[in-house]
Structure 1
Amino acid sequence: MSGNLPLVLSVTSGKGGVGKTNLSVNLAYSLAQRGKRVVLLDADLGLANVDVLLGLTPERNLFHLFSEGVALSDILYSTPYGFDILPASSGIGDMLTLSTGQKLDLLESMDTLEDNVDFLIVDTGAGINDNVLYFNIAVQERIVVLTAEPTSLTDAYSLIKVMKLNHGVEHFKVVVNMAASEKAAREMFIRLYSACDHFLSGVSLDYAGFLPQDPAVRKAIVAQRPVCQQNPAAPVCQAIGNLADKIQNWEISSNLDGNIKFFWKKLLFQQ
Structure 2
Amino acid sequence: MIGQLSRILELEKLKEAQKSKPINKLVAFTSGKGGTGKSFLSLNIAYSISKSGKRVLLIDFDPNLSNLNIMMNKRAEKNISGFILQKELLEDLVTEYTDNLHIVFGESGKIDFPDISSGIIDNFIIQVNKLSEKYDYVFIDTGSGASEELLYLLSKCSAKIIVATPEPTAVMDAYVIVKLLKSKNATENIGVVINRATNTQEAVSAYGNLSKAVKHFQKVDLSYCGTINFDGAVSKSIIAQEIFLERYSKGETVEAISRCAKEIVKFIQVVNINQSYKTSR
Fold match, TM over 0.5? yes
| 8 Å CA contact 1:216, 1:234 repeated in 2 | no
Match of 2:143 among 125, 149, 158: 125
Separation of aligned partners in 2, 1:246 and 1:97:
33
1:14–1:159: 8 Å Cα contact kept in structure 2? yes
Residues 257 and 44 of structure 1, relative CA distance in 2, 3 Å threshold: farther
Q: Could you tell me which residue of structure 1 aligns to residue 6 of structure 2?
A: none
What is the correspondence of 1:129-140 to structure 2 with a 5 Å cutoff?
129-140=147-158
Q: CA RMSD in A?
A: 2.7
TM-score by length of 1: 0.82
Match of 1:255, SS?
helix
For 2:57, what is the secondary structure of its paired residue?
Answer: strand
**Corresponding residue number in structure 2 for 1:229:** 246
* Secondary structure in 2 matching 1:115: helix
Q: In percent, how many aligned pairs have the same letter?
A: 29
Check 1:257–1:7 CA distance in 2 against 1; reply closer, same or farther (3 A cut).
farther
Secondary structure of the 2:33 match is: coil
Q: Does 1:56 align with 2:74?
A: yes
1:29 and 2:47 are equivalent in the alignment: yes
How many residues were matched structurally?
248
1:93 maps onto 2:115 in alignment = yes
Alignment partners' CA distance in 2, 1:141 and 1:53? 25
Which contiguous aligned blocks of 4+ residues in structure 1 show a shift greater than 3 angstroms? Answer: 66-69, 89-98, 106-111, 253-258
Taking structure 1 as reference, are residues 6 and 31 closer, same or farther at Cα in structure 2, changes over 3 Å only?
farther
**Which residue is 1:243 aligned to?**
260
SS in 2 for 1:136: helix
Q: Which shifted more, 189-198 or 245-254?
A: 245-254
In the alignment, which residue of structure 1 is the partner of 2:126?
A: 107
Deviation at 1:181, TM superposition (A): 1.4
Structure possessing the higher relative contact order (Cα contacts under 8 Å, 6 or more residues apart): 1
Q: Partners of 2:43 and 2:75 in 1: how far apart?
A: 15
Counterpart Cα distance in 1 of 2:56 and 2:157: 15
Gaps of 5+ in 2: 1-22
Q: Assess if the C-alpha contact under 8 Å between 2:69 and 2:106 holds in 1.
A: no
Distance in structure 2 (CA, Å) of the matches to 1:139 and 1:109: 11
Residue segments in structure 1 that go unaligned for 5+ positions in a row: 259-271
Compared with structure 1, are the counterparts of its residues 94 and 159 closer, same or farther at alpha carbon in structure 2 (3 Å cutoff)?
A: closer
Distance across 1 between alignment mates of 2:165 and 2:128: 38
Question: Contact 1:122–1:135 (CA<8 Å) still a contact in 2?
Answer: no
Tell me the amino acid that sits aligned with residue 15 of structure 1.
K
